[in-house]
Amino acid sequence: MPAAQPLPDDASHLLVVDDDGRIRSLLHRFLSQNGYRVTVAASAAEARQKLDSLAFDLLVLDVMMPGENGLDLARAVRARSSVPILMLTARSEADDRIAGLETGADDYLTKPFDPRELLLRVGGILRRSNASNGATASEPEVRFGPFSFHRGRGELKRADEVIRLTDRERDLLAALAERPGQTVPRSAIAGDDAAPGDRAVDVVVTRLRRKIETDPANPILLQTVRGMGYRLLTDE
């Protein structure tokens, strides 16, 4: 078997946190073979030690772990860092997916999963994160209230303060900003694969309102158009 090729210096560094040793080994091998630097941890406590000493481009967190679970760890990480988070959950119920989104996770994947799908999710999150950090300043901005949203960078600011967005919050705001003041159908935001009654969009809308509305319970900027969808009330 030929020797493994060394990874480039700019290879993305992932932290995989799962108490199942078989899954840790599988993901370490598979992701490494596909060009990523991979560090693994068997518990939230071990993950915290890694996070204190190393910088990561993406965290892959299992939800169901003994002791501190993945949701609790995700909340703690999000309180101090904007590093993207992909949650792994053994259950597919909507409440479990919503719980992951409410922590500020960027995406979720239900076990059992095909490693190739994980690879696609990881690549998508990293591309969006890199595009947000590296886009040019030529893309138009949309202004609403005290906020501005740079459509090219996917960057939300209040004056000079950058407001941290998850991928799903950024995608929602981008969809609304493309049609300022117009109603965007809920189906266009949820996507074609959303199940009937899926509340994931509602969770993301609620989270975004907490960041841009003075009174999230009575929104002025991000409005619900009952029976249709949502619209962003801009200054344009």
Q: What is the pLDDT of residues 57-112, one digit of tens each?
A: 999 999 888 889 898 999 899 888 888 999 988 766 666 677 777 778 888 888 88
Per the CB < 8 A criterion, the answer to whether 19 and 66 are in contact is yes
- Give the separation between CA 98 and CA 203, rounded to whole angstroms: 7
- Answer whether residue 3 is part of any domain: no
Do 128 and 20 fall within a single domain?
Answer: yes
Which domain range does residue 128 map to?
13-133
Predicted pLDDT of residue 1 = 38
Tokens 């609403």, residue located: 144
Please say whether the beta carbons of 200 and 92 come within 8 A: no
Q: Evaluate whether 140 touches 151 at the Cβ level (below 8 Å).
A: yes
CATH classification of the domain holding 50: 3.40.50.2300
Q: Are residues 27 and 47 in the same domain?
A: yes
118 and 174, same domain (yes or no): no
Same domain as 201, residue 107: no
Q: What CATH number did the domain enclosing 220 receive? A: 1.10.10.10
Q: Do residues 199 and 121 share a domain?
A: no
pLDDT, position 20: 92
Non-local (6+) Cβ contacts of 38 within 8 A are 13, 14, 16, 27, 28, 31, 32
Last residue of a domain, one of 118, 133, 148: 133
Q: Is residue 158 part of a domain?
A: yes
Q: Is 22 helix (H, G, I), strand (E, B) or coil?
A: helix
- Phi/psi at 135 (5° precision): -70, 155
Q: How far does Cα 118 stand from its chain's mean position?
A: 14
Answer yes or no: do 54 and 82 share one domain: yes
153, part of any domain: yes
> Nearest to residue 82, comparing CAs of 201, 194, 200, 211?
211
pLDDT value at position 50?
Answer: 93
Q: What percentage of the chain exceeds 70 in pLDDT? A: 85
C-beta neighbour count of 49 within 10 angstroms: 11
Q: Does pTM top 0.95 for this prediction? A: no
Where the chain has pLDDT below 50, the residues are 1-3, 135-138, 192-193
CA distances from 119 to 100, 124, 128 (A): 19, 9, 14
Residue 88 forms part of a structural domain? yes
Q: Are residues 157 and 117 in the same domain?
A: no
Which residue among 102, 133, 164 closes a domain?
133
Say if 2 falls within a structural domain: no
Report the alpha-carbon distance of residue 15 to residue 51 in Å, rounded: 9
Q: Looking at 89, 107, 133, which one is the last position of a domain?
A: 133
- Number of structural domains (the chain) is 2
Asked whether residue 69 falls in the same domain as residue 100, the answer is yes
**3-class SS at 71?**
helix
